Chain A
Amino acid sequence: MNTVLVVTALAIFATMALALVRALKGPTVYDRIVAVNVFGTKTVLIVALITAISGNDDLIDVALVYALINFIAVVAVLKLVRMRDLGAAGEGDITDG
């Protein structure tokens, strides 16, 4: 079973590398945010896989918290990019489309 887990972890690491390439290249700022979002989700999966590989069950809490923080961070960064201010709202906001 461990071999399957390690192969899956390697596939996830490859995905993270590809996402990093897009985050560095990305012509627009939204391309970079998508890539960082993918990177964060894959980090959650990597932590869950490392929990299963190492057999140390406490690590799963890290993945749980990271899943929450990742979403908040992506939405906050989007808002900051659009409005230049986390407190501002109104015309041209991310909910305005």
Chain B
Amino acid sequence: MVETVLFWLSAACLLTGGAFGVLGGIGLIRFPDFYSRLHAAGITDTLCALLIIVGLLIQAGLALISIKLLLILLFLLFTAPTASHALARAAMVDRSPPEVTGDPVPGEPSSKS
């Protein structure tokens, strides 16, 4: 009984994680400018890693490998947002402002149009 529940829980985590990964890849291809692509890549990166490693953790149970998986999850949860932030910041320093449509918001960077 418990094994069945754990099996389906882990399968659901793994498959949603894979689906989020593919969605992020499609966003990376199809979004119009750098910042929206960074949005797609950064968010799905974190969520995909979280779901897949949780799925593997449920399968592994209590063992040395689950501690190492938790460490990987910890590193990824720290480094993925930091890398996204560094990238967005470097692009802003490089004076490539985001494409903005509609009314400009005061105090926010706007595009040339």
Task: Tell me which residues across on chain A come within 8 A of B96, comparing CB atoms.
Answer: 28, 30
Given A41-B80, A45-B49, A94-B93: A12 and B18 interface contact (C-beta under 8 Å): yes
Total A-B residue contacts, Cβ distance less than 8 Å: 154
Name the residue in A21, A22, A45, A63 with the highest tally of chain B Cβ atoms < 10 Å from its Cβ.
Answer: A45
**A17→B24 CA distance, assembly (Å):** 12
Interchain CB contact under 8 A, B49 and A97: no
**A11 proximal to B (CB < 8 A):** yes
CB distance from B16 to the nearest CB of A (A): 10
Interchain CB contact under 8 A, A61 and B72: no
CB distance from B97 to the nearest CB of A (A): 11
Show the binding face of B for A, using Cβ within 8 Å. 7, 10-11, 14-15, 17-19, 21-22, 24-26, 28-29, 34, 37-38, 41, 45, 48-49, 52-53, 55-56, 59-60, 63-65, 68-69, 71-72, 75-76, 79-80, 82-84, 86-87, 89-94, 96
Show the binding face of A for B, using Cβ within 8 Å. 1, 4-5, 7-8, 10-12, 14-19, 21-22, 28, 30-31, 33-35, 37-38, 41-42, 44-45, 48-49, 51-52, 57, 60-61, 63-64, 67-68, 70-71, 74-75, 78, 81-82, 92-97
13 contacts between A and B (CB under 8 A): A12-B18, A15-B21, A18-B22, A18-B25, A22-B29, A34-B38, A42-B21, A44-B72, A48-B53, A48-B69, A60-B65, A64-B72, A64-B75
